[in-house]
């Protein structure tokens, strides 16, 4: 009599990529999650594909020496993420490849956009994001996921992709991305936390707002988003539910780094049982209307489900 169930088809696995070879670097704030060099990522992604995970989302850890005010490295066709895309497309051609569009892994100030007089400038940033999206599509990305939260970027990126001949590359919009304390461990993982000056409140959403999320989603759909994402996950199930109900679009939830870290910390302290709470939290996303979930637990859950 179960209304909802979780399957491996629901899982998207986010992965951190580092330079070098043979690297599997632990992340202190995310026990059990590693930064992989491309050769090691290939091994892990093959495993994910065998388990039936349909898609991965890759995030680069950019060397500090390559970061600058403008995030120039984002547009380098040979940057880490583009090399990872090419390698993964060759080695694991049938897993869906999602890349993040935003400048924070590349900027010396850690913001998702360009700064002028200390403030993020929307329109100039959008122009750069369009180029970043095309560079990633050329490298083999199947789905472009703009996580930057600039206004008007979905429509602009759609046109840029179409003009470059990538009309089949889809856009997963971070439609409702809140300025959140739950991203802390992610920023450690990609090394943007030490760089980040100030907060992201001028472009990410205020956690006091629910209706605004619907307006943001509506704009992104009108601009051509193929699917929507809500982020963070568990504290925002109401937003996920409302957006799914209102638009009936493919809607995804991101169980972010801080949610992962909370569960791991509680498990390490002996306060909760990992597999129980992980399955419960992911099923809750389904109940709220998610068509898929980005989760750092993806491999673990796929293994669990395959044993059932």
Q: Which residues are catalytic?
A: 177, 231
Q: CB 180 → ligand PBG: shortest distance, Å?
A: 8
Q: Which is nearer to ligand PBG, 4 or 201 (CB)?
A: 201
d(CA 142, CA 122): 25
- Minimum Å gap between C-beta 253 and ligand PBG is 12
Q: Which is nearer to ligand PBG, 58 or 243 (CB)?
A: 58
Q: Which of residues 191 and 289 has its CB atom nearest to ligand PBG in the complex?
A: 191
Separation between Cα atoms, residue 225 and residue 174, nearest integer Å: 10
Nearer to ligand PBG, 59 or 166 (CB): 59
Helix axes 153-163, 122-139, angle to 10 degrees: 40
Which residue, 230 or 256, has its beta carbon nearer to ligand PBG?
256
| CB count in 10 Å sphere of residue 180 | 17
CA distances to 68, 124, 137, 234 from 182, in Å: 26, 28, 29, 10
CB of 88 to ligand PBG, least distance (A): 18
Q: Which two tokens stand for residue 161?
A: 């992709």
For residue 167, the 8-state DSSP code is T
Extract the tokens encoding 271: 């306060």
Shortest Å distance, C-beta 112 to ligand PBG: 5
Residue 163, C-beta contacts closer than 8 angstroms, at least 6 positions apart: none
The token duo for 135 is 């560079």
Q: In this chain, which residue has its C-beta nearest to ligand PBG? A: 186
Calculate the CA dihedral of residues 109, 114, 118, 122 and round it to 10 degrees: -140
Please give the residue ranges that form the binding site for ligand PBG (CB under 6 A). 100, 102, 104, 112, 147-148, 183, 186-187, 256-257
Cβ 197 to ligand PBG shortest distance, Å = 13
Quick one: which of 115, 35, 102 has its CA closest to 73?
Answer: 102
Minimum distance, C-beta of residue 250 to ligand PBG, in the bound complex (Å): 19
Residue 305 sits at φ, ψ, to 5 deg, of -65, -30
Instruction: Quote helix, strand, coil % in the chain, to nearest 5.
Output: 45, 20, 35
Closer Cβ to ligand PBG, 110 or 289, answer by number:
110
Residues 113, 68 contacting (CB under 8 angstroms): no
């Amino acid at each position: 009599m179960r209304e909802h169930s979780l399957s491996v088809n629901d899982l998207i696995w986010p992965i951190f990529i580092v330079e070098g070879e043979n690297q599997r670097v632990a992340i202190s704030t995310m026990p059990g999650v590693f930064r992989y060099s491309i050769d090691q990522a290939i091994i892990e992604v093959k495993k994910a594909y065998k388990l039936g995970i349909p898609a991965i989302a890759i995030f680069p850890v950019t060397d500090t020496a390559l970061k600058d005010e403008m995030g120039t490295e984002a547009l380098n066709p040979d940057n880490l993420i583009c090399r990872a895309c090419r390698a993964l497309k060759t080695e694991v051609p049938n897993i869906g490849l999602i890349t993040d569009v935003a400048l924070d892994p590349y900027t010396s100030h850690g913001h998702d956009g360009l700064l002028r007089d200390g403030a993020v400038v929307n329109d100039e940033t959008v122009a750069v994001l369009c180029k970043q999206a095309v560079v990633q599509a050329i490298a083999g990305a199947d789905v472009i996921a703009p996580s930057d939260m600039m206004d008007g970027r979905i429509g602009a990126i759609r046109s840029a992709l179409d003009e470059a001949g990538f009309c089949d590359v889809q856009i997963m919009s971070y439609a409702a991305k809140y300025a959140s304390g739950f991203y802390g461990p992610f920023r450690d993982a990609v090394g943007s936390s030490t760089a980040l000056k100030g907060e992201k409140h001028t472009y990410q959403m205020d956690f006091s707002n629910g209706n605004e999320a619907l307006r943001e989603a509506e704009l992104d759909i009108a601009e051509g988003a193929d699917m929507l994402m809500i982020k963070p996950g568990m504290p925002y199930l109401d937003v996920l539910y409302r957006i799914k109900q209102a638009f009936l679009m493919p809607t995804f939830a991101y169980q972010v780094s801080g949610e992962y870290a909370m569960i791991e910390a509680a498990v390490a302290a002996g306060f909760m049982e990992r597999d129980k709470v992980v399955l419960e939290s992911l099923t809750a996303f389904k109940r709220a209307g998610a068509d898929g979930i980005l989760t750092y637990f993806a491999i673990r859950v796929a293994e669990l489900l395959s044993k059932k």
